[in-house]
Structure 1
Amino acid sequence: MFCHPLSVVFSLFFIGTIVCQSDNDVSLAPLKDELISLRILTEKLQEQILQLTKKNAEMEVTNLQQETQILSNIRSIEIQGGKIQKNDDDFRRLRRELKHMKKKCKPFSSFPSYEEPQKMLNSFVSKQSPIGNRQSKRSHRPVQLNLSHSSNGTPIQTKRASTSSQFFTAENSNNMYVSPNQIVRFDHVVTNDGQGYDASNGIFTANSNGVYVFYLQTRSTDRQCFVEIVKTGSRLVSTWSGHGDHLADSTMVVLRLQIGEKVWIEDRSYKSNNCEIDDLSSFSGFMLHAEE
């Protein structure tokens, strides 16, 4: 068979190209293996970096928690120290007061007889009085001890019989209208120890001699009201409410009452029309101290 020379040349060139390509593939194989190894190593390094980053973050959180706990403990110690200091100051103050009380009570440590402690007590009261020479004759009365004697002659102090006390508070259950010179009757009784206040007529009656305190609060939103605290017909103090912005008013009086004397609230309005007192008004009183 006859072959063209060019065909032979091209065939040889093609065969040479194939042989060269095969040689190149053989020489690149180690590089591919190295690239694969480097990729695997890179992935491992990335995993290790992530693990280290996570551990560092956890360590930082732990450190922050420990620092917070330390600060909290320091604050607690400071608070406890402040309490200890306050308790120490209170203890020192109480100890000073105790010494002062012991010093005052020293004259009464022993009572040889009834006459002797009576003189000592009167002398002590006159020296310790804060009013001094301005005391009234009433305050200079000798202090009487209620003493009894035991079988061996030692005086024993006994308690006096207590005097019954009185106190009350009454208010309006609803708005009420009263005419001039009419007694204001607070019908809702809140307290009434001693039963001195009569809700049926609004009058308080003293059951013991003594000094009493009375308080009145009035409020009116419709008409002007001028009411007073009255003692057995004698006008004492007054309130004026229901005028412009002056919707409410209050007053108080301290006075001495004898058994059976009465105190009440009375309308003294100048106008002939009725006075309105609402349900926020109240009348209170109590015995400050009893007298013989």
Structure 2
Amino acid sequence: MVNEIKKTEDNVISTLGDIKRAVADFTDMFADMRGNITDEMIKRGEEIKRSEESFKTLSEEIRKSLTSGIEAEKEKLVQLQGKLEQPPIAFYAHQLKDMILDTTDEILIFEKTFTNEGTGYDTSTGLFTAPVGGLYQFVVHTCPYKEKHAYLGLVLEGNVIAAHAYDADNTYGCNTFGAIVRVKSGAKIWVKSTASGSNYQLYQSVYRFNTFSGLLVNN
């Protein structure tokens, strides 16, 4: 019986040793697993952080791009609104103050206007001052006196941009010339005689009007 008890004690001790070794092995394995899991979590965390930073950078770039685009469209809308709110620019003047072309470079002054939208044409000076810059069309219609001459030019800021010459004829006639030209805001345009003399003269009546007109086509 003593031997059996001894044998049983040895088996118990051996089993406890096995259990202790197994627990130690499991503890070591768990520690390794925990280390691996911790490293993987740190790696994932860093990847997530980098992704968040990339997303923030991309979001900021998109925001700036959208903001810039919106501001550009707003500016276009403001400019378009300004154009829509801008009154039309046009004039149509007639009734010459002096029809004798005895002075070269003399400005032809049309004293009356049927139309003067934008008030650019001055009936006292014969000058049209562009209220806004843009593409304009100007037309000059004159009626020379029979058997007289008329040499005329359309002038923009001192430069002749269109001209017409009418030489003596024994009939009354009328002639038209003009130009389409881009004009800066504040620029002046007028009609003048490019040659002069006692035999240079225009004619007007209820049947024949001398006119000077202009229209803002596009700005």
Asked whether the two chains share a fold, i.e. TM above 0.5, the reply is: yes
2:143 equivalent in structure 1: 219
Indicate how the Cα distance of structure 1 residues 212 and 247 shifts in structure 2: closer, same or farther if over 3 A, else same: same
Q: CA deviation at 1:173?
A: 5.7
1:15-51 Cα distance to aligned partner (Å, 9 max, x none) = xxxxxxxxxxxxxxxxxxxxxxxxxxxxxxxxxxxxx
1:1-292 to 2 correspondence within 5 Å? Answer: 115=66, 145-146=73-74, 160-162=81-83, 163-172=86-95, 176-178=99-101, 179-222=103-146, 223-241=148-166, 243-244=168-169, 247-269=173-195, 271-273=196-198, 275-279=200-204, 280-290=209-219
Taking structure 2 as the reference length, the TM-score comes to 0.57
Q: CA deviation at 1:247?
A: 2.5
- Alignment check: 8 A CA contact 1:240 1:248 kept: no
Question: What secondary structure sits across from 1:160 in the alignment?
Answer: helix
Residue 192 of structure 2 aligns with an amino acid whose one-letter code is E
- Alignment check: 8 A CA contact 1:219 1:242 kept: no
Residue 73 of structure 2 aligns with an amino acid whose one-letter code is L
Question: What secondary structure sits across from 2:82 in the alignment?
Answer: coil
CA distance in 1, matches of 2:96, 2:107: 16
Indicate how the Cα distance of structure 1 residues 181 and 174 shifts in structure 2: closer, same or farther if over 3 A, else same: closer
Q: CA deviation at 1:175?
A: 6.9
Residue 289 of structure 1 aligns with an amino acid whose one-letter code is N
Indicate how the Cα distance of structure 1 residues 166 and 194 shifts in structure 2: closer, same or farther if over 3 A, else same: same
CA distance in 2, matches of 1:187, 1:276: 17
Indicate how the Cα distance of structure 1 residues 249 and 216 shifts in structure 2: closer, same or farther if over 3 A, else same: same
Q: CA deviation at 1:276?
A: 1.7
Q: CA deviation at 1:160?
A: 1.8
Q: CA deviation at 1:288?
A: 0.7
Indicate how the Cα distance of structure 1 residues 248 and 235 shifts in structure 2: closer, same or farther if over 3 A, else same: same
2:34 equivalent in structure 1: none
Cα RMSD between the aligned structures?
3.2
Q: CA deviation at 1:258?
A: 1.2
Q: CA deviation at 1:239?
A: 2.0
Indicate how the Cα distance of structure 1 residues 241 and 248 shifts in structure 2: closer, same or farther if over 3 A, else same: farther
- Alignment check: 8 A CA contact 2:129 2:186 kept: yes
Taking structure 1 as the reference length, the TM-score comes to 0.44
Aligned residues: 146
Question: What secondary structure sits across from 1:221 in the alignment?
Answer: coil
Q: CA deviation at 1:221?
A: 2.1
**Which consecutive unaligned segments of at least 5 residues does structure 1 have?**
1-113, 119-143, 148-156
Residue 215 of structure 2 aligns with an amino acid whose one-letter code is F
CA distance in 2, matches of 1:213, 1:258: 13
CA distance in 2, matches of 1:171, 1:281: 6
Question: What secondary structure sits across from 2:175 in the alignment?
Answer: strand
Q: CA deviation at 1:207?
A: 1.1
